[in-house]
Structure 1
Amino acid sequence: MYNAFFKARPRLRAALFGLAVCTPSLMIGVTAALAETPGAVAPAFASDRLSVEVVGRGPDVILIPGYGCSREVWRATADRLKATHRVHLVQLAGFAGQPWTHGDGPLLEPAVEALAAYVQTAGLQKPAVIGHSMGGLSALMLAQRHPEAVGRVMAVDNLPFFSALFGPQVTPETARPFADQAAQAMLSQDEAALRAAQEQGAIGLARDPATRTAMVDWTLASDRRALATAIHEVMTTDVRPGLAAMTTPVTVLYAADANGGAPAAMADALWGREYAALPGVKLIRVDDSRHFIMADQPQTFAQRVDQFLAD
């Protein structure tokens, strides 16, 4: 069933989920990202799990990039918001050229805890948190585990359980063998094979050619152990059981693209099903976009962000 789904809908899966790992029989969408932009402002905070660059003044907004990505994926958003907000651009260790010192140890949960510690030590008061892809999953985890640390969440094109892609019957346990396979593929591919996989996967993740190029560059600059750990954790982490008890306001943007992406009806059904237990969730579809909504529909994305911050 898993292989059949992937073979039947290669661009749909990529546009929906933006993860890119290939094996001879399994392909899982893939996003990633570029090394830091030369001349970028030095981070105001750094640990062995993440660093944070702070720009602007005003109410606090935290921006979390997705799997393999650089904080530069948020640069246009941060540049626009910094006139009215204090923006905290997160960079996870191991991604996009950032050092990874944890071997094959966990990535996702320690990063979430490090982010919670940053909110506390920086004295932030209920910041808004916007996360893309794995960053959106991280934002949901942060709000579930540390509701006092989060004012509101915007999750950009991510599900509360990635492997729900394969159907409502899938659990973290049944997804684990495929997560093992995906992680091993990330570790075993040579650079040429990885580049080819990323270049092919990027087509389904963004319409914008510059963003596709950035995805590939960011992935190749990332630590393979961090990428393998992250893909395994994303495929086996299910935060749906905690949705019903959440009190943090959540807005979810998700992409639909009739020309090479996720058909609107299918995207509506999937996101509606997976977020059904979350009280008061705002589900907003963005048409004519693939996974990187901020790049494919920048004006619409900016409008939705402004509305989210003003609510």
Structure 2
Amino acid sequence: MLKSLFAAALLLTPLAAHAEAQAQDDCPTFEVKGEGPDVLLVPGLASSAQVWDGTVAALADRYRFHLISVPGFAGTPVAEREGSVPEALAQRIADYAACRKLDHPVIVGHSMGGFTGLLAAREHPDRFSRVVVVDSLPFYPLVYAPDATVEVVKPRAEAITETLRSMDDATFAATQANGARSLTQSKEGQERIVAWSLATDRATMADAVQALMTTDLRPELAEIATPVSVIYATNAYAAPERMKALYETAYADLPDAQFTPIGDSYHFVMWDREDAFTAALAKALEGSDGE
């Protein structure tokens, strides 16, 4: 009997080892920098993980950063997916944390990345220790219409995404260059935004915009048990009082959410106010170190 069990074990061991190796092969691969507790850095719409370069340089001696790249964005190859772009990315992040055996990492997401972090925390309540949302709302259209609903916004979303899909390359490039000026005060940053947009798969970008404009997470925020910190920008066009009301109302069903405004900044807070952003992020991460 023992000989039979031993023989079976010899036969099964290579299969088990192969299965484990196969699981590792299937695990997403992202660039990792630094040493310390694990932090997943998620870029926003049509952005590269390089958006976090300054953050990593400032804090890599205290945290191990995983630089998440988004399929179809900024030159990253398109991948098959199930669900919307944010939904698929949220699952990819959760799978990565699981197969790399990360111990309750923090998700830090900018723009669409913050929205994605909320999705991941909702679907996987025990996997992450905190979500840090950077200049993002649980329903994007609130930025221009505080009383927006999915039903009201849907026709506009369809028109915008159809325009994105059909626009010729020259017009698209000009549109992106014009829009970039309202996203960061940095000339170099504006150039990077445009370059990343031009390297982004247009269909993936349109699908992501459609999802962001027609997905309202506010009714589901109460389901998120993971602590959430929100860092948001204010400036002459986005007055502090208005932004405070907008964000605190949007996240009202997360009563323990922590809010940190950063003044004199556009959307890319990590570029426009690098030192202030790094300090705010470090404070949020310190609050997660023992959770």
| TM-score band w.r.t. shorter chain | 0.7 to 0.9
User: What SS does structure 1 have at the residue aligned with 2:133?
Assistant: strand
**CA pair 265-296 structure 1, distance change in 2 beyond 3 A:** same
Give the aligned partner of residue 96 of structure 2. Answer: 118
Q: In the aligned structure 2, how far is the partner of 1:281 from the partner of 1:105?
A: 28
Deviations 1:41-80 (A, max 9, x none): xxxx9979x6521112211011000000000001111122
Tell me, yes or no, if structure 1 residue 149 matches structure 2 residue 127.
yes
Q: CA deviation at 1:165?
A: 2.6
- Look up the SS of the partner of 2:265 in the other structure: coil
Match of 1:89 in 2: 67
> 1:139 aligned to 2:117?
yes
Deviation at residue 105 of structure 1 after TM alignment: 6.8
* Matched-pair contact (CA < 8 Å) for 1:129–1:154: yes
**Which residue in 2 is equivalent to 1:36?**
none
Assess, with a 3 A threshold, how the Cα gap between structure 1 residues 245 and 104 changes in structure 2: closer, same or farther.
closer
- Greater RCO between the two (CA within 8 Å, min separation 6)? 1
Which residue is 1:19 aligned to? Answer: none
Q: Judge conservation of contact 1:104–1:226 (CA < 8 Å) in 2.
A: no
CA contact (8 A) 1:128 1:152 kept: yes
Q: Give me the whole-angstrom Cα distance separating, in 2, the residues matched to 1:151 and 1:104.
A: 25
Aligned to 1:70: 48
Whether the 8 Å CA contact 2:86–2:115 is kept in 1: the answer is: no
- Do residues 223 (structure 1) and 169 (structure 2) align? no
Relative distance call for 1:101 and 1:145 in structure 2 (3 A) is closer
The equivalent residue for 1:272 is 248
In 2, the alpha carbon distance for the partners of 1:307 and 1:103 equals 35
Give yes or no for the alignment of 1:298 onto 2:274: yes
CA contact (8 A) 1:257 1:263 kept: yes
In 1: Cα distance, 2:36 partner to 2:186 partner: 31
Quote the RMSD (CA, aligned, Å): 1.9
Is residue 156–residue 252 contact of structure 1 (8 Å, CA) maintained in 2? yes
Query: Any conservation in 2 of the 1:159–1:271 contact (CA below 8 Å)?
Result: yes
Q: Aligned partners of 1:300 and 1:171: how far apart in 2?
A: 33
Give the TM-score normalised by the residue count of structure 1: 0.81
Tell whether 2:190 aligns with 1:212: yes
In 2: Cα distance, 1:240 partner to 1:189 partner: 32
Larger radius of gyration: 2
Give the match for residue 310 of structure 1. 286
| Residue identity in the other structure for 2:154 | R
Change (3 A) 1:213 1:235: same
Aligned to 2:260: 284
Which has a greater percent of helix? 2
Q: Secondary structure at the match of 2:69?
A: strand
Gaps of 5+ in 1: 1-44
Matches within 5 A, 1:97-112: 97-102=75-80, 106-112=84-90
Query: Is the CA contact 2:81–2:88 (under 8 Å) kept in the aligned structure 1?
Result: no
Residue deviations 1:80-137, cap 9 Å, x none?
2221211100000000011114499732211111111111000011111100000000
Residue 56 of structure 1 pairs with residue 34 of structure 2? yes
The equivalent residue for 1:130 is: 108
Equivalent AA in structure 2 for residue 266 of structure 1: R
Give 2:139's aligned residue. Answer: 161
- Paired letter, 2:219: P
Tell me the TM-score normalized by structure 2: 0.86
Change (3 A) 1:168 1:222: same
Residues 1:143 and 1:295: Cα distance change in structure 2 (over 3 Å): same
Q: How many residue pairs get matched?
A: 264
Specify the code of the residue in structure 2 equivalent to 1:203. Answer: R
Percent identity (aligned): 37
